[in-house]
């Protein structure tokens, strides 16, 4: 019997139009005993037609959204909301961005429904480095949006008499490192040859952010702060709201992590920068009077000090044509393993780097190693 593979569309990330492109289905056509069930309208937001997918593989079928969730295997780039996950077939395989650590409701559904999950964001190599990621796309799209916001907000942006623009980068993982590279590119683009001081990136690791008396001096009067951290404890802020108050009034906060608040657990899960709110592809620049702040007013979160915040829960999707090509290339490393092997056969002892990475992305592996 053929394995059925469902491909629902992203519906819950406002403005994120990304689906997997027909090239991926042409690539997967080589695998026997599989059938692909795409949600009606799949790829249309990218400019593709149903015929484009049908030409790519005669194994493609178009079905309702509910049917696309009810297959042996489900693949989607961004994780839908919990009510959609209830449509997944119990015990089925699920491949998406899951963010286990910050999604307790998703963890509950996975456990209750016995889902066999692979989390794209947890696929790592033998050294613990993510290998299913578009670090530069994430960093550059985010930094570019933040610099554009700063140009609008900071009257002296092009003044030759000001000091260099201090850009605090919190986090030095793959995204943080690419933020430094992105800020160099953007600084050259804006200031090189204009006799104007550029952007001065300052890396702040945990050994700095964890010492308020030192960190406060560094951030005082700063005009750009980038949160590219991956926290071990999502109940603790990296930058408190009081510290946000030390920044220049016309500063810009760049929220790359785009974590959510979750007040349904105790202690609650919080964002890296206290009092900020999360944006999306259709709403990346958040001003201090944004109505979205009403969601955290009256909670334990202090949002007294506000700055223009640039935030998005799908940064690679800000450059859709590039992003869908990048993820097509990444998917080719994993789909054959998922389609041809049984879930229980995938092993950390494999001689295939990508299979080892998949194993480390399973829910069970996460639960065995979380916070250890």
Q: How do residues 163-198 score in pLDDT, each as one tens digit? A: 999 999 999 989 999 999 999 999 999 999 999 999
Q: Grade residue 54 by pLDDT with cuts at 50, 70 and 90.
A: very high
Q: What is the pLDDT of residue 103?
A: 85
Last residue of a domain, one of 301, 317, 333: 317
The whole-angstrom separation of Cα 293 and Cα 103 is 21
Q: In the chain, pLDDT over 90 holds for what percent of residues?
A: 83
Query: Which of these, 139, 99, 90, lies nearest to 13 by C-alpha position?
Result: 99
Structural contact between residues 235 and 268, judged by C-beta atoms closer than 8 angstroms: yes
Kindly tell me if the per-residue pLDDT of 323 is higher than 60.
Answer: yes
152 and 296 both lie in a single domain:
yes
162 and 286 both lie in a single domain:
yes
Last residue of a domain, one of 277, 292, 317: 317
Q: Grade residue 139 by pLDDT with cuts at 50, 70 and 90.
A: very high
* Cα dihedral sign, 132-311-99-117: negative
269 and 176 both lie in a single domain:
yes
336 and 230 both lie in a single domain:
no
> Across the beta sheet with 3-7, what order do the strands follow?
60-63, 34-39, 3-7, 73-78, 93-97, 116-119
Structural contact between residues 43 and 21, judged by C-beta atoms closer than 8 angstroms: yes
Residue-wise pLDDT tens digits, 253-308: 999 988 889 898 889 989 999 999 999 888 999 999 999 999 999 999 999 999 99
The whole-angstrom separation of Cα 213 and Cα 305 is 19
How far the first Cα of the chain sits from its last, in Å, is 41
- Which residues are paired to 225 by β-bridges? 168, 253
- For every residue of 144-185, DSSP letters joined together read HHHHHHHHHH-TTTT-TTSPPEEEEEE--SHHHHHHHHHHHH
Phi then psi for 290, rounded to 5 degrees? -60, 135
Phi then psi for 192, rounded to 5 degrees? -60, 125
**Domain span including residue 312:** 135-317
128 and 139 both lie in a single domain:
no
Phi then psi for 276, rounded to 5 degrees? -90, 160
47 and 24 both lie in a single domain:
yes
298 and 343 both lie in a single domain:
no
Last residue of a domain, one of 281, 302, 317: 317
Q: What is the pLDDT of residue 14?
A: 67
Please state whether the predicted TM-score (pTM) of the whole model is above 0.85. no
DSSP 3-state assignment of 332?
A: coil
Q: Grade residue 138 by pLDDT with cuts at 50, 70 and 90.
A: very high
287 and 170 both lie in a single domain:
yes
CATH number, domain at 43? Answer: 3.40.50.720
Cβ neighbours, 10 Å, residue 177: 17
122 and 141 both lie in a single domain:
no
Structural domain count of the chain:
2
260 and 326 both lie in a single domain:
no
Cis before 267 (ω within 30) = yes
117 and 229 both lie in a single domain:
no
Kindly tell me if the per-residue pLDDT of 214 is higher than 60.
Answer: yes
Q: What is the pLDDT of residue 13?
A: 65
Q: What is the pLDDT of residue 329?
A: 97
313 and 346 both lie in a single domain:
no
């Amino acid at each position: 019997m053929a394995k059925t593979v469902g491909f629902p569309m992203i519906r819950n990330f406002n403005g994120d139009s990304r689906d997997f492109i027909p090239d991926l289905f042409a690539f997967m056509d080589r695998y026997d005993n599989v059938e692909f069930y795409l949600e009606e309208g799949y790829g249309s937001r990218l400019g593709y037609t149903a015929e484009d997918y049908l030409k790519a593989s005669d194994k493609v079928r178009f079905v309702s959204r509910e049917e696309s969730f009810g297959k042996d295997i489900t693949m989607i780039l961004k994780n839908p909301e919990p009510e959609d996950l209830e449509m997944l077939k119990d015990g089925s395989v699920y491949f998406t961005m899951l963010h286990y650590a910050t999604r307790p409701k998703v963890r509950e559904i996975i456990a209750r429904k016995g889902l066999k999950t692979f989390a794209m964001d947890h696929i790592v190599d033998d050294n613990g480095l993510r290998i299913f990621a578009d670090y530069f796309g994430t960093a550059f799209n985010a930094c570019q949006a933040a610099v554009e916001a700063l140009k609008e907000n900071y009257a002296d942006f092009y003044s030759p008499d000001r000091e260099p623009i201090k850009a605090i980068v919190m986090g030095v993982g793959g995204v943080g490192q690419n933020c430094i590279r992105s800020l160099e590119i953007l600084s050259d683009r804006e200031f090189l040859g204009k006799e104007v001081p550029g952007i001065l990136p300052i890396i702040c690791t945990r050994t700095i952010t964890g010492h308020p008396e030192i960190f406060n001096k560094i951030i005082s009067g700063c005009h750009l702060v980038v949160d590219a951290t991956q926290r071990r404890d999502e109940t603790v802020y990296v930058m408190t709201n009081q510290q946000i108050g030390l920044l220049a009034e016309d500063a810009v906060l760049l929220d790359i992590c785009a974590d959510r608040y979750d007040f349904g657990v105790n202690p609650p899960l919080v964002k890296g920068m206290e009092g900020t709110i999360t944006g999306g592809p259709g709403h990346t620049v958040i001003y201090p009077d944004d109505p979205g702040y009403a969601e955290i007013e009256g909670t334990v979160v202090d949002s007294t000090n506000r700055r223009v915040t640039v935030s998005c829960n799908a940064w690679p999707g800000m450059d859709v044509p590039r992003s869908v090509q990048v993820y097509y290339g990444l998917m080719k490393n994993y789909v054959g393993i998922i389609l041809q092997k049984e879930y229980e056969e995938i092993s950390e002892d494999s001689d295939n780097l990508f299979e080892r990475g998949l194993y480390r992305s399973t829910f069970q592996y996460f639960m065995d190693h979380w916070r250890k």
